[in-house]
Amino acid sequence: MSSKTFFCIDAHTCGNPVRVVAGGGPNLAGVNMSEKRQHFLKEYDWIRTGLMFEPRGHDMMSGSILYPPHDPENDVAVLFIETSGCLPMCGHGTIGTITIAIEEGLIQPKIPGIVRMEAPAGLVLIEYKQEGNKVTSVKLKNVPAYLAAQDLIVECPGLGSLKLDVAYGGNFYAIVDPQENFKGLENYTASELIAFSQNLRKEINKHHTFIHPQNPTINTCTHILWAGATLSEEATARNAVFYGDKAIDRSPCGTGTSARMAQWYTKGLLKPGESFIHESIIGSKFIGKIEEVTEVNGIPAIVPSVEGWAKVYGYNTIKIDDDDPYSKGFQV
């Protein structure tokens, strides 16, 4: 019988979980985090499923493993592990990971208040604020985001025909605005949104292909962003983001916010420098902004920033024994 122990620190970013593996992560081969992500998925995915799925995790569980940076100018490299797989980029995961890493002394940034983080999707520049030992806010400048497709008509069992856009913000997002066959997220339960999403995602990927022009390993529309009416007056927009097989993000979703800002920018609804306050299904908020206008292989794109907070709530030493029939976790 063999047993592996993982030293984890748990937090939540605006309500959504982040479990950072501070000890016990595997050594990975590769010259950047995209290559290391491929190595992990091939040989160590049992660590992700064991730590994210029940009985050690749950449907929304999400986390990361820290690695030394590949470029000595940077401070840290991060592998995201989630119920959905290993995402190229995760916004709420970044905010939680950086909060944990700074508060718990897991990284020592070269310039206090700034972290240069290597993610599988690319370099992410982070500014954080601290009061004493506590990190009070984390603002990430994400990888370039762009609108990949507009006005796709896709059949969604349970709702009917839907018109949607697909945008990239570190992951590919199908964005569904209120319309005749979808009345807005506030009119459905989370379970209904999950059931619609499971079918809609299959339909989208059956009929359409999305490949990041600079990284062909990012090649599927993995997330669905359902839009709807805001809860508070100061919010610009509200969303419920579906990920994995049964998760709705409790945070306003960092990569989803980036994708949404790219969509709004391309449609002339948001200008560089304007605030985009995004509200989650539970009412928590991220502040988004277009920092720069750029392009990705000739496609108009933005460099979005997303700011939010996280709270550390526990230390978790987790064992995975191979005599445990559920060592790799399960989903029901």
Catalytic positions are 90, 253
Task: Compute how many other C-beta atoms are within 10 angstroms of the C-beta atom of residue 22.
Answer: 19
Least gap, CB of 90 to ligand PYC (angstroms): 4
Tokens of 1: 């019988």
Residues from 236 through 275 that contact ligand PYC (CB under 6 A): 243, 249, 251, 253-255
Least gap, CB of 63 to ligand PYC (angstroms): 11
Helices (H) and strands (E) in the chain, counts: 5, 17
Binding span for ligand PYC by CB under 6 A among 20-28, 71-79, 87-95, 322-330: 87-95
Q: Which is nearer to ligand PYC, 102 or 247 (CB)?
A: 247
Least gap, CB of 253 to ligand PYC (angstroms): 4
Binding span for ligand PYC by CB under 6 A among 89-97, 120-128, 190-198, 208-216: 89-97
Q: Which is nearer to ligand PYC, 6 or 243 (CB)?
A: 243
- Going by the DSSP 8-state scheme, the letter that residue 188 receives in this structure is S
Give the contacts of 306 (CB within 8 A, at least 6 positions apart). Answer: 91, 95, 139, 140, 142, 254, 257, 258, 286, 287, 288
Task: Name which position in 21, 90, 262, 310 contacts ligand PYC (CB under 6 A).
Answer: 90
Tokens of 249: 């993000």
Binding span for ligand PYC by CB under 6 A among 84-92, 105-113, 121-129, 321-329: 84-92
Site string for ligand PYC, 38-77 (x = CB under 6 A): ------------------------x---------------
Task: Name which position in 19, 37, 48, 92 contacts ligand PYC (CB under 6 A).
Answer: 92
Q: Which is nearer to ligand PYC, 61 or 312 (CB)?
A: 61
Q: Does 167 bind ligand PYC (CB under 6 A)?
A: no
Least gap, CB of 173 to ligand PYC (angstroms): 9
Least gap, CB of 308 to ligand PYC (angstroms): 9
Q: Which residues would be at the binding site for ligand PYC (CB under 6 A)? A: 62, 90-92, 243, 249, 251, 253-255
